[in-house]
Structure 1
Amino acid sequence: MKTPVGLVTVALTAAILLTATLVIATGTRGEETEFPSSAGGLEVRTFARGLVNPWSLTFLPDGRMLVTERPGRIRVVSAEGQLSPPLKGVPDVWASGQGGMLDVAIDKSYAQNKTIYFCFAERTGGGGGRTAIARAKLNDGGGRLDETKIIFRQEGPLSSGNHYGCRIAQADDGNLFVTLGDHGSHREQAQDLGNHLGKVIRIAPDGSAAAGNPFIGRAGAKPEIWSYGHRNGQGLAINPASGDVWEVEHGPRGGDELNIIRTAKNYGWPVIGFGLEYSGGKIHESTAKDGMEQPVKYWVPSISPSGMLFYTGKLFPKWSGSLFVGALSGSMLVRLSLNGNGVAGEERLLQNLHERIRDVRQGPDGALWLLTDSSNGRILRVTPSAK
């Protein structure tokens, strides 16, 4: 007998409230529980800990979660915050530098097909790595993935360990948008349509180029490409108000970008931008050029944005429609208030937590759920303060 959805949500919320570990407010790094915000006080609770550089979090329909760890693991997290052993059936992952197990997403028809998608750095025989995307079915009882298949492999010069991307967003038509990095030392390839470096791609669930892609049939261009001229996109989300695809990407020394991704558009990297070489030298020709898109927003100095969501829950009614972005080097959660396709304001949250925020998700309870990026990473649940 199926449990009514409402009862599942009530049970999940009750379990969370009863079992989440409250971090004691002693004033030491990472232990504060009360944080100010424009929506009132925020309470932060540790829901699970002991993850090694967790990278992505997604909710299953029954309230459990899937979480990835960069060393090459996927785990199931129970509604009580218990971590499963690593799932079996995961392909060989090259956990080197910034590479490893990256994003995970469930199919929109997961309740019927049990299908998940994930991306990772794949070791190659050429002395480097590349971003690969796999599809599998979650075997709940067996603690494994079944029918695992790599459906897409990034083509172009290999990475020595940097700038893989990779975030996945599934549109209502079932097609997947995916960010692919420029591999760091191959930045000029982001302007070359003959490879997948520094691109946002759009693929069907089987990994083939999605129908209607702008470069299908164009000689010398990869048919999976949707947009190009990107550096290292680590946040991707579809705006429920408009259906537009939004992306955040790392700049070098300054110049992180928030972009609205349009078909066939060139976002300029490395020709235009707002950052510098890490040495302080010049990278770009200018900050603007005909035929190249401008970001909706950029950050100087860098915050290293990672993970993003459009908030639609009821737990924070003042924040309905806001865009949330995690920050790594910035060690905070950023809330952007929007006015159509423009940014009307920025609020920097949880700065006293002193944690690298790798991912941010909205839970079925309307809370904000965060992953902290460290060798003892945590899943955090953020709710309005009860005080």
Structure 2
Amino acid sequence: MIKGKTFLVMGVAGAVALLSFNWQKNTGGKSSDPEKNYQEYCAGCHGAQMNAFADRKWKYGNSAEDLFKSIKFGNKDDGMPAFAQTFSDAEIKALADYILKGIANVDRYNFNQKPKSDLFETENGKIKLEKVFGDAKNVWGMAFLPGGEILATDKSGVLYLVTEDDKSKKINGVPAVRFGGQGGLMDVLLHPDFAKNKTIYLSYSKPHASNNNLQTTAIFKAVFSGDALQSGKDIFVAQPYTSTRHHYGSRMVFGKDGMLYFSVGERGNERENPQSLENGLGKIHRIGADGEIPKDNPFYNRKNADQSIYSYGHRNPQGLALNPFTQQLWEHEHGPRGGDEINIIKKGANYGWPVVSYGINYNGKIITTLTAKEGIENPIFYWNPSIAPSGMAFVNSDVYKGWKGNLLVGSLRFQYLNRCVVKDGKIVKEELLFKNIGRVRDVRQAPNGYVYLAVEGEGIYKLLPQQK
């Protein structure tokens, strides 16, 4: 940042942040520690976690030698100053090596080959992906009925009933959706007492009644009866409606308290919505099963606040799951370019977007230089580069060797399933499963203990562990 003017450097030149005009004059503050040099000279514009380097095309090459040349000699055309007078050759080499080490994790997602069979090797043995449903073009959410059938939403606005013999039928009574962009018919959830009351919930992008340019996230409640939904009604409509067609959020889960928790994205307006308690966008909400707002919600008595808000400061949460071992509510959300997060949701907490972030804007500009701030909850885990997470499920069955207690997350961007090993509330290890299978939109564990994947353009797969 130079007197309010930010330079966007689109090559290896960007590997070192632009400093103020006195960089080359003021050499007394430099350190022999490359990490300290990076934090002092680079992090202000490119992020403390090398956010700006994770997803880029390196204009001048990205070898250690390339970075050394760019740091030492600069590149005037891109606004990159030379640091030959600031650092010794040894310090430049150490800084280049430090940068390369920090961005090396990007290569782990370079999957070159499409799957050649339905059998996949994992750290704990082979797993077969068996397709159980292929009629829908874009399955967004799944719910498992007591008899083993699956309710599956198609983003286009169709709800399917899928039987165990791979047959399906369309269910009538679904609300009209605004299909386009990231919107449509999204999540589906059963009432905890579904066996008795047959009640289900749908999240969807709801068009405005009188303005065709506006839409929002809504929660629909209905009774499932045969091949139709009856007595359907909206029990929540996020305010305000907006003209954008992305960042709807829309995952739903019932908590241990019997309340319905669900996510609403900030609809692309990060400067106004997620940090304001006066609207419902960029939030996790908590309501009763019939739509009533609990009086013990954290902002119920705050003047002008949206009373259903449970937590705020979210970007686009497309993963929400109750940890069956701790009963905590876990969430993941899309970051910008870098900085997808996993959070444990706390009552009334602020999760920071866009005040803090591990990512940068899609055009390469820094959104914030902060990755932490007092009063804001830190994520327990983040991805850089972004994997575009969608769907989220804990494994609490013994069907899969070594998976019990793990968290599963789908990746839209890199088209695989992410297995997260959880220990003491932290992600301590990852395994990348089913590489290049397709955009994994949802992952769920069924009551029978088996895991199912919804893959865009393909349908639903059942994960079958193979005997040795």
When the two structures are superposed, what TM-score results if normalisation uses the length of structure 1?
0.89
* Partner residue in 2 for 1:64: 149
SS in 2 for 1:262: coil
CA RMSD of aligned residues (A): 1.5
**1:30: how far off?**
5.0
* Partner residue in 2 for 1:215: 299
- Counterpart residue type for residue 378 of structure 1: G
What does the per-residue CA deviation read over 1:103-159, in whole Å, with 9 as the maximum and x for residues that have no partner?
Answer: 00000100000000110000013322100001000011xx11001010000012514
User: What CA distance in whole angstroms lies between the structure 2 residues aligned with 1:157 and 1:51?
Assistant: 28
Select 1:138's aligned residue among 204, 224, 229: 224
What does the per-residue CA deviation read over 1:270-320, in whole Å, with 9 as the maximum and x for residues that have no partner?
Answer: 110011111111112411111111101000000011111110112114111
User: What CA distance in whole angstroms lies between the structure 2 residues aligned with 1:101 and 1:210?
Assistant: 26
* Partner residue in 2 for 1:41: 126
* Partner residue in 1 for 2:183: 99
- Counterpart residue type for residue 202 of structure 2: F
**1:160: how far off?**
1.7
Do the aligned residues in 2 keep the contact of 1:246 with 1:258 (CA within 8 Å)?
A: yes
SS in 2 for 1:152: strand
Do the aligned residues in 1 keep the contact of 2:113 with 2:436 (CA within 8 Å)?
A: no
* Partner residue in 2 for 1:23: none
Do the aligned residues in 2 keep the contact of 1:311 with 1:322 (CA within 8 Å)?
A: yes
* 2:164 matches 1:83: no
Q: Return the index of the structure with the highest Cα Rg.
A: 2
* Partner residue in 2 for 1:382: 463
Structure 1: segments with no counterpart, 5+ residues: 1-26
Mapping 1:140-289, distance limit 5 Å: 140=226, 143-289=227-373
What does the per-residue CA deviation read over 1:235-264, in whole Å, with 9 as the maximum and x for residues that have no partner?
Answer: 000111111100010011111000000001
**1:366: how far off?**
2.0
- For the structure 1 residues 363 and 47, does the alpha-carbon distance in structure 2 shift closer, same or farther, using more than 3 Å as the test? same
- For the structure 1 residues 263 and 327, does the alpha-carbon distance in structure 2 shift closer, same or farther, using more than 3 Å as the test? same
* 2:447 matches 1:364: yes
Select 2:139's aligned residue among 18, 38, 54: 54
* Partner residue in 1 for 2:41: none
What does the per-residue CA deviation read over 1:178-227, in whole Å, with 9 as the maximum and x for residues that have no partner?
Answer: 01000013553100000011000001011121231100111021110000
Do the aligned residues in 2 keep the contact of 1:302 with 1:330 (CA within 8 Å)?
A: no
- Counterpart residue type for residue 46 of structure 1: K
- Counterpart residue type for residue 79 of structure 1: E
- Counterpart residue type for residue 45 of structure 1: E
- For the structure 1 residues 316 and 286, does the alpha-carbon distance in structure 2 shift closer, same or farther, using more than 3 Å as the test? same
Select 2:214's aligned residue among 101, 119, 128: 128
User: What CA distance in whole angstroms lies between the structure 2 residues aligned with 1:238 and 1:227?
Assistant: 15
Q: Identify which of structures 1 and 2 has the higher relative contact order when contacts are C-alpha pairs closer than 8 Å and 6+ apart.
A: 1
Structure having the larger proportion of residues in strand? 1
- For the structure 1 residues 103 and 187, does the alpha-carbon distance in structure 2 shift closer, same or farther, using more than 3 Å as the test? farther
Instruction: Give the percent of matched residue pairs that are identical in Structure 1 and Structure 2.
Output: 39
Do the aligned residues in 2 keep the contact of 1:256 with 1:298 (CA within 8 Å)?
A: yes
Do the aligned residues in 1 keep the contact of 2:221 with 2:234 (CA within 8 Å)?
A: yes
**1:28: how far off?**
7.9
- Counterpart residue type for residue 137 of structure 1: V
Mapping 1:326-345, distance limit 5 Å: 326-345=410-429
Structure having the larger proportion of residues in helix? 2
**1:378: how far off?**
1.2
When the two structures are superposed, what TM-score results if normalisation uses the length of structure 2?
0.74
User: What CA distance in whole angstroms lies between the structure 1 residues aligned with 2:252 and 2:365?
Assistant: 33
User: What CA distance in whole angstroms lies between the structure 2 residues aligned with 1:121 and 1:133?
Assistant: 9
**1:363: how far off?**
2.0
